[in-house]
Structure 1
Amino acid sequence: MRQQAVVGRAGAEAYLRWAELPGEGEGVRVFLHGLGASATFDCSEAAAHPALRATGHRSLLVDLLGFGWSDRPADFGYTLEEHADTVAAVLDADGIRGAELVGHSMGGAVALALAARRPELVGALVLAEANLRPGGGAWSRKIVAWPEEEFATRGMAEFTAGESDPGYLATLRAADPLAVHRSAVGLVRGISPGLGQVFVEYDGPKAFLVGELSRPYPEEGDAVEAGAHILTVPAAGHPMPVENPDGFARAVAEASARATAAV
């Protein structure tokens, strides 16, 4: 497990942590997780899959602040832009440019924010059912309906009690309630320009992954209009990295091969 110090709003240090899988090539692949999730948990099996190891990329499985193994600073805003800046700090510290970003759900929105703010850090976008439209998704809209303090004291417990997926329940319990609420607010607010517009204007290789069980998936059409290559993860819905890590890994590997061929 590696870590990088980042600075909160009040200037206090917090540590963002990630797991790293070595690769034989020079490429770097960065996995970014969804709301209430953890890349070190959700993406570890897929990242270690032979189809992805064969690409030669070094893989970084990043737990965003407030989630997984990373610190949970109370003075952090947890907006999409602030999450993106912490990922940028990791890449800057390692001298990484042109990384392949694999963003699932909220992680895809963070990847788009990073592409808008620091385009030199992003060499390809692989978004798995990422937020492309303003207003967030059904999950984030339910969260922001709670006032922040009330969600932290009561709402988080209700959401956790209502979750039946054991894997997601594990990462949700590890997540900080303030981070969950503020990140949901960030998803609903979006960025300027909009997430979908950033995806349209991004001129590097881009792919959009859709779970077979998620269809019809409204934002798939948005991804098509943005010029993204659409890939299906079979036998999976929205939590595709966990439901079908083999299919998820193979879809990411295909997107990566297309990105390499396009360079």
Structure 2
Amino acid sequence: MVPLLTKSHRVIRIDLLGHGRSAKPAGPSYAIPDQARRAAVALDRLGVKRAIVAGHSSGGCSATALAEQRPDLVTALALINTGPSLDAFIAPQSAAIAPSQWPPTDEQIRRFASTGFSRAGYQIPRELLNEVHAMTYHTLTMTMGATRDYMEQQALPDRLMVLGKPLLAIFGEDDRRWRSSSAADYRAVPGATVELLPGLGHSPILEDPPRTAAPLLAFTAIHAAQAD
């Protein structure tokens, strides 16, 4: 989706600790507030003074925490298929990957990640398989647990209501991990915009980048003037 955004915006992608090309240590905290602080350090080092911050799934929690910690930095927020509370979570039907099965095979990852997409038979990109392979069992479980802990402490709409930041919530309507009807909970945030994308699941950024980029670009067109 990035090429669709870079035509009109400077785009900075951050691999949080434990993800992508970032380090995957066993010691440091993977708590959401700590991940947000690391993102803030990265943006500060890049000289970013104001930014529209977008996060997909658990990344939306880190984006919210960043706005809580650095309201001076975050101009607006876009959350993509980020469940508003644990009440919206859909328990998985299949068993999780056990420690004894790590590192997993491609087929195990496909089964584990299948609920991240709207339809059976979706070809999970090789890049995503490689991303999971690069993680350790510790970083996978710690990041999942950190999201749960953050949402147990307070639901996201309650956190966002007091921030006074423009909010866009995008949801694939056929999400199999979070009830898409729960996206309406974000309407409790004053001025929030909620966009449902029919026929798409938990990962619309992969399933249909242009349809996902469209509401995001419309949102940033309004609020980018206040960001770098």
TM-score interval, smaller chain: 0.7 to 0.9
CA distance in 1, matches of 2:132, 2:57: 15
CA distance in 1, matches of 2:196, 2:225: 20
CA distance in 2, matches of 1:120, 1:104: 22
Among 105, 109, 132, the alignment partner of 1:160 is 109
- Residue of structure 2 equivalent to 1:129: 81
Secondary structure, in 3 states, of the residue corresponding to 1:60?
Answer: coil
1:26-83 residue CA offsets vs partner (Å, 9 max, x unmatched) = xxxxxxxxxxxxxxxxxxxx1111xx2343x210111111111111111122111111
CA distance in 2, matches of 1:243, 1:53: 19
List gaps (5 residues or longer) in structure 1. Answer: 1-45
- Residue of structure 2 equivalent to 1:179: 139
Misfit runs of 4+, over 6 Å: none
- Residue of structure 2 equivalent to 1:246: 210
CA distance in 1, matches of 2:111, 2:103: 10
- Residue of structure 2 equivalent to 1:196: 157
CA distance in 1, matches of 2:67, 2:150: 14
Provide TM-score, normalisation by structure 2. 0.79
| Closer/same/farther in 2, CA of residues 88 and 262 from structure 1, 3 Å limit | closer
- Residue of structure 1 equivalent to 2:194: 230
Provide TM-score, normalisation by structure 1. 0.69
Secondary structure, in 3 states, of the residue corresponding to 1:116?
Answer: helix
- Residue of structure 2 equivalent to 1:19: none
Query: Contact (CA 8 Å) 1:106, 1:130: kept in 2 or not?
Result: yes
Shift in Å, 1:176:
2.2
Shift in Å, 1:175:
2.0
| Closer/same/farther in 2, CA of residues 135 and 77 from structure 1, 3 Å limit | farther
> Quick check: 243-252 or 183-192, which moved more?
183-192
List gaps (5 residues or longer) in structure 2. Answer: 115-122
Shift in Å, 1:125:
0.1
- 1:70 lines up with 2:22 in the alignment: yes
- 1:258 lines up with 2:225 in the alignment: no
